């Protein structure tokens, strides 16, 4: 872990790191917020919220725009923000569109060439990155996960596929049913191939029926989100949760869009949701 920058923030520290990822076979950057209680000679280890960002984002969007650090500092909660895809692996077509390739890893493990050796963001965010940061930083190993849009999809599938790994899960405007929307269909075809049976393990609506752990889902969605009808499908997630008795709190917020203005407006609710599960509140 090479430290790139440190900023004092609400008496805690926002840090950016670089490391070489064995999983993705490239260099990766990520951000960490450490609350004040974790710093100094007498600092103690704290639980962590992993935040997965959306299409085109890097680790910096959430840290600069969400306004999460003030409450996280008070709660004693660390936040880790990975990037959204491998960077600079120079694959053909990698930078041709905003919704596939660079900045659009979709938190799956690709099986199709030429993506398979590098585009393994699922293994990266559930295994390699936690092992790295929890061995090098004052973190307890107790985890929660959240995210936005593509990252909301990522948070849901990471929690549903890994019983016991996270204490809680939430999402802002997640791509809730990627098999049934253009973003998901494009990404899944490219990374996973044409056989839709292979897609099912990466779609929250397909994972709910057989989920071995039923963490309550907190999902916030704006009614003025330009992608609500065409890409996000929160109703499909709510319907399958109701059918299989998986608790979900789906909150529709009148007038809010897909931006970080929306996330900043309700991030404290999500932090408190995770803090309760992590024993901080």
Look at residues 265, 263, 167, 250 and name the one whose alpha carbon lies nearest to residue 204.
250
Q: Quick one: pLDDT at residue 281?
A: 76
pLDDT at residue 13 in the model: 98
**Residue 217 pLDDT > 80, yes or no?**
yes
Decide if 133 contacts 50 (C-beta within 8 A): no
What average pLDDT does range 251-274 have in this prediction? 98
DSSP 196-258: GGGTGGG-HHHHGGG-SS-PPEEEEEETT-TTIIIII-HHHHHHHHHHTT--EEEEEETT--S
The per-residue pLDDT for 164 is: 96
Residue spans of beta strands (DSSP E) within the chain: 2-9, 12-21, 26-34, 46-52, 78-81, 139-147, 169-172, 217-222, 248-253
Q: What are the tokens at 145?
A: 């996960």
Domains of the chain: 2-278 (3.40.50.1820)
Q: What residues are labeled active site?
A: 149, 225, 258
Residue 41 above 90 pLDDT? no
Contacts of 14 (CB under 8 A, 6+ apart): 6, 7, 8, 31, 32, 33, 63, 69
The pLDDT tens digits for 76-111 are 999 999 999 999 999 999 999 999 999 999 999 999
Quick one: which of 68, 58, 66, 71 has its CA closest to 28? Answer: 58
Rounded to an integer, the average pLDDT of 244-249 is: 97
CB atoms within 10 A of CB 249: 14
Q: Residue 250's pLDDT is what?
A: 98
Q: Tokens 């985890």, residue? A: 143
Whole-number Å distance between alpha carbons of 280 and 260:
25
Q: What is the mean pLDDT of residues 139-167?
A: 97
What is the pLDDT at residue 245? 96
Nearest residue to 121 via CA among 89, 163, 168, 79:
89
**Banded model confidence at residue 266, pLDDT cuts 50, 70, 90:** very high
Residues 24 and 249: their CA atoms lie apart, in Å, by 34
Return the sign of the alpha-carbon dihedral for residues 16, 20, 25, 27.
positive
Predicted local distance difference test score (pLDDT) of residue 149? 98
Query: In angstroms, rounded to a whole number, what is the distance separating the alpha carbons of residues 249 and 251?
Result: 6
């Amino acid at each position: 872990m090479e430290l790139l920058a440190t900023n004092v923030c609400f008496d805690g520290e926002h840090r950016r790191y670089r490391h070489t990822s064995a999983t993705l076979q490239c260099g990766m950057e990520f951000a960490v917020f450490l609350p004040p209680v974790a710093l100094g000679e007498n600092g103690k280890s704290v639980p962590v919220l992993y935040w997965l960002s959306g299409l085109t984002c890097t680790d910096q969007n959430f840290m600069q725009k969400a306004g999460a650090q003030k409450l996280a500092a008070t709660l004693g909660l660390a936040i880790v923000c990975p990037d959204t895809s491998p960077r600079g692996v120079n694959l053909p077509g990698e930078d041709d569109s905003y919704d596939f390739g660079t900045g659009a890893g979709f938190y799956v493990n690709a099986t199709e060439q030429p993506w398979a050796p590098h585009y393994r963001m699922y293994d990266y965010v559930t295994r390699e990155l936690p092992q790295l940061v929890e061995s090098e930083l004052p973190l307890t190993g107790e985890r929660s996960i959240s995210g936005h849009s593509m990252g909301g999809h990522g948070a849901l599938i990471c929690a549903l596929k890994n019983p016991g790994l996270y204490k809680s899960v939430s999402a802002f405007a997640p791509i809730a049913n990627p098999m049934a929307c253009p973003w998901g269909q494009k990404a899944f075809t490219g990374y996973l191939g044409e056989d839709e049976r292979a897609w099912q393990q990466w779609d929250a609506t397909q994972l709910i029926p057989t989920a071995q752990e039923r963490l309550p889902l907190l999902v916030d969605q704006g009614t003025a989100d330009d992608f609500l009808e065409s890409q996000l499908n929160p109703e499909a997630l709510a319907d399958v949760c109701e059918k299989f008795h998986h608790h979900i709190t789906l909150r529709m917020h009148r007038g809010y869009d897909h931006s970080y203005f929306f996330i900043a407006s309700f991030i404290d609710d999500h932090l408190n949701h995770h803090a309760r599960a992590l024993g901080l509140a």
